[in-house]
Amino acid sequence: MTGKDNKGTAVVTGASSGIGAVYADRLAGQGYDLVLVARRADRLEELAEKLRYAYHRKVSVISADLSDDDDVRRVEQAISADESVTLLVNNAGLGGQQVVATADVDAAERMIKVNVVALTRLTRAVLPGLLARNRGAIVNIASVLAFDSSFGGIYSGTKAYVVNFTEALHREVAGTGVKVQVVLPGATRTDFWELAGSDIDQLPKEIIMNADDLVDAALVGLARGEAVTAPALVDVAKLDTFLGARQAFYGSLHADKPAPRYAA
Ligand code: NAP
């Protein structure tokens, strides 16, 4: 048996394109068997066939709409029952710069269901098994827009949830053999932009990363046990400064009386 033979199974949501498809490729290359999840079964099957051929791994496909409650439960059941699962990459997601007053509220709800609810439920589905086996990892794909609401609060709000949820989960599993990582992609060249009604080429090209580089960097961060991986961040001290300032700010938000400026 080689080192590659006992990696277990990685579940990758949103594997039919973009960042998720690169994760699937890289993880198969590292020796994981795969469960690929997304709506477009044809694209998943095509990728699965390619990866089986290239890497000789077991690759199965679950076609599911993660904004649909029944579909999410079907995926939960499949992955919680699979004792070979060692890695969950919660990558499926969709964006859009919606102004609340005119937002398509059903589309906004679908975004929240995929970006937040499904990610939470799938995490909950695999975590007990990972903890019981004291092994494995959960990777949640957030966004730099978790820290900037200027392009609209709905998408940004979903990704802020992913960051807080994952940070707390990282603390929850501390001291176990389970790793938890949140990844903060900046602008990444995928179908995401067109689907969200935006043109990525309106951005300066020096801030656009390709999905291959993004995933390769995120996997290095995972291997190093990072809780927060920001692939584009050159000066990592800024992350520590930000997290420290946030903690200090939080510490100053409690008192037994309102601040003097609110005196009537
Ligand atoms: P993408 O190419 O559009 O891929 C999105 C994936 O999510 C697709 O595989 C899609 O599959 C899946 N998905 C969307 N809605 C779904 C649903 N209802 N049910 C199941 N699967 C669904 O975009 P991407 O850039 O790779 O996005 C991956 C993640 O990165 C997302 O969470 C996104 O928020 C995050 N991100 C992207 C960027 C960027 O600039 N691209 C920046 C920051 C964060 P089907 O359509 O086949 O269902």
Q: What is the pLDDT of residues 43-65, one digit of tens each?
A: 999 999 999 999 999 999 999 99
Tell me which of 145, 188, 199, 205 to substitute to probe ligand 1's pocket, judged by most ligand atoms within 8 Å of the beta carbon.
188
Q: What is the pLDDT of residue 2?
A: 47
> Could you give the CA distance from residue 170 to residue 221 in angstroms, rounded to a whole number?
14
Is the CB of 20 within 6 Å of ligand 1?
yes
Q: What is the pLDDT of residue 6?
A: 81
Q: Which residues in the chain belong to E strands, given as ranges?
A: 9-13, 33-38, 59-63, 85-90, 136-141, 178-183, 188-189, 209-210, 228-229
Q: What is the pLDDT of residue 96?
A: 86
pLDDT in tens, 72-110: 999 999 999 999 999 999 999 999 877 899 999 999 999
Q: Is the pLDDT of residue 186 over 80?
A: yes
Q: Would you place residue 1 in the very low, low, confident or very high pLDDT band (cuts 50, 70, 90)?
A: very low
Average of pLDDT values for 133-152?
96
Average of pLDDT values for 20-25?
98
Q: Is the pLDDT of residue 208 over 80?
A: yes
Q: The tokens of 11 are what? A: 């579940």
Average pLDDT of the chain is 96
pLDDT in tens, 8-17: 999 999 999 9
Is the CB of 191 within 6 Å of ligand 1?
yes
Instruction: Report the separation in Å between the CA atom of 206 and the middle of ligand 1, taken as the mean of its atom positions.
Output: 22
Query: In sequence order, what DSSP letters do the residues of 115-176 get, joined into one string?
Result: IIIIHHHHHHHHHHHHHHHT-EEEEEE--GGGG--TT-HHHHHHHHHHHHHHHHHHHHTTTS
Tell me which of 39, 45, 215 to substitute to probe ligand 1's pocket, judged by most ligand atoms within 8 Å of the beta carbon.
39
Q: What is the pLDDT of residue 4?
A: 55
Instruction: Report the separation in Å between the CA atom of 94 and the middle of ligand 1, taken as the mean of its atom positions.
Output: 5
pTM: 0.97
* Residue 122 near residue 64, CB atoms below 8 Å: no
* Residue 102 near residue 53, CB atoms below 8 Å: no
> Could you give the CA distance from residue 130 to residue 79 in angstroms, rounded to a whole number?
11
Average of pLDDT values for 203-226?
97
